[in-house]
Each structure stands twice: as C-alpha cells, then as structure tokens.
C-alpha cells in the first residue's frame, strides 16, 4: 500500500530531523581564562538560554564563579558589514545587544557578513 509506505517514510524524517534542531554558536569574551567557547544550542534558544549554556560550560572560570547569574549578562551581537568591494578594514562592526527573549538562531541567520556574539555583563 503506497499511502502506508509514505506515512512510514514521513515518520522516519521526523525522527532524524531532531538533529537539525540544533546549531552551533560561538560566544566570545566569556572569561579571561576562556576567550571564547562554542556551544550546541537549540534553534529556538533565546539569548538568555545561550547565556545560561555558556555560563554552565564556563563554570570553572573565576570571573563566572564570582558572577554566575545568567540574568546579569547580555549577549551582544557584533556584525561586520561587508563594505562591498572596498578593503574590509573600512567595514565598521555594528554592535547590538540582544533582548533576553530574542531568538539567537534567527539573529545569526540575518548576518550579511562576519558576525560574532560577545558575552557582556549588564553593568558594562
């Protein structure tokens, strides 16, 4: 029965697509001991989720131990827009703080050039 076969195949697709639910995020300036870290996050992760994951991965860093609260941090997006044809040294990076509930995967997929996320304390 062709219809049954299709249903079975679709079921398989759904199971395997669970892996594609994740993406890699590189977070910079995590701590003096750890200039950057790469975490595997769910695509629907918010900035706060990413911060929490980053902190728990870097929990042995002294600066993180002294300030382990995710809500004290923000994720800053730094995107260097390609200045089209000109030397990239003239391209100024644009910096923007992500909202706590902003989807990091969506923010990252909007980049039109080199971009990175930087972990910052809110006071800074």
**Cα 29 to Cα 35: distance, rounded to the nearest angstrom:** 5
Q: What is the pTM assigned to this prediction?
A: 0.75
Query: pLDDT tens, 51-109?
Result: 999 999 887 788 888 888 999 999 999 998 766 655 556 678 899 999 999 999 999 99
Helix (H, G, I), strand (E, B) or coil at 108: helix
- Kindly report the average pLDDT of the chain as a whole number: 83
Query: What pLDDT score does 20 carry?
Result: 75
């Amino acid at each position: 029965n062709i219809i049954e076969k299709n249903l079975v195949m679709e079921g398989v697709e759904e199971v395997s697509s669970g892996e594609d639910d994740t993406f890699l995020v590189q977070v910079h300036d995590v701590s003096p001991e750890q200039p950057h870290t790469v975490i595997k996050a769910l695509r629907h992760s918010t900035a706060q989720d990413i911060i929490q994951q980053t902190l728990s991965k870097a929990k042995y860093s002294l600066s993180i131990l002294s300030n382990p609260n995710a809500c004290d941090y923000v994720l800053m997006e730094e995107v260097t827009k390609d200045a089209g044809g000109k030397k990239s040294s003239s391209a100024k990076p644009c910096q923007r703080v992500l909202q706590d509930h902003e989807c990091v995967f969506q923010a990252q997929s909007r980049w039109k050039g080199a971009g990175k996320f930087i972990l910052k304390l809110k006071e800074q």
